[in-house]
Amino acid sequence: MIIGLSGSATPQGSTDILIQEALKGAQGGRYKTRFFRLNEMRILPCQACGKSPEPEYCFFHDDAYILFEKIASSRAVILGSPVYFDSVSAQTKIFIDRSNCLRPADFSDMSKQTFKEPLFKGKTGGIVLVAGDYGKFDSALRVMRAFFIWAGIEIKFELKYISKSLRFGEAANDKKILQEAFTCGRQLTEEEKP
C-alpha cells in the first residue's frame, strides 16, 4: 500500500490533485493506494507527554493513530501541503507534531537524552508542496524533511508547484506538473525487487 496525506484545507485543490496524480503513478507497480485528507480527520495536538508510549505509537487513539497504523503497514507515504506564511499548513503541522513518538525517547539513562531507532525506518516517501507565485519553499521543505528524517522514511522525491494565478485547482490544467507528479509516484515502486 502507498498512502497519500494531504494537508490542504480545500478538497481537490492543487495539493490534493498532485498527491492523487502521484498515487496514480504508484499504481503502476504492485501496490494499492489510499488517499487521506488531514482536514477531515480529528487529530489532537501533541501533548508533550514526556514518556514513551511503547509498544503503542501514541497514548492518544485519535485519527493520527489510525494514520500511524496505515503508514506502518504501507510501503511508502506521500505528504503534501500548501505553503502558508512560508511554512506548511496547520493541518500538516499538527500531524507532523504528533509524529514525535515515531522515534521514541530512550529513558534508560536519565543523564543523557537519546532516542531509539525511528519506527518507520526502511520505508520511502515523497513531498508535495504548492505555493503562490512568490514560490518560497525553503521553510516548508525544512519542516517536511524533518518529519521524514524523524520517522526514518527515505525521501524519494520533492515535488514543488508554483501557482501562476492562485486559482483553485490550477494544477489540474498543467500537463507538465501532472506528468511530473505521476513520474514521482512511479519512483516509489520502480526500484522494488521481484
Fold classification of 2-190 (topology level): Rossmann fold (3.40.50)
Q: Is residue 193's pLDDT more than 70?
A: no
Instruction: State residue 136's pLDDT score.
Output: 86
Q: What is the predicted pLDDT for the residue at 137?
A: 93
In the predicted model, what is the mean pLDDT of residues 180-188?
93
Weakest mean pLDDT among 128-132, 170-174, 177-181, 188-192: 188-192
H helix and E strand count, the chain: 5, 8
Structure confidence at residue 194 as a pLDDT band (50, 70, 90): very low
pTM for the whole structure: 0.91
Cell of 19: 498527491
Provide the 3-class DSSP secondary structure of residue 4: strand
pLDDT(155) > 90: yes
Q: What is the average pLDDT across 165-190?
A: 89
What is the pLDDT at residue 1? 93
What letters, b where the CB count within 10 A reaches 16 and e where it falls short, cover 69-95? eebeebbbbbbbbbbbeebbbebbbbb
Residues 41 and 91: their CA atoms lie apart, in Å, by 9
Domain boundaries, the chain: 2-190
Dihedral, CA atoms, 36, 9, 128, 166, nearest 10 degrees? 150
pLDDT tens-digit series, residues 82-112: 999 989 999 999 999 999 888 777 666 666 6
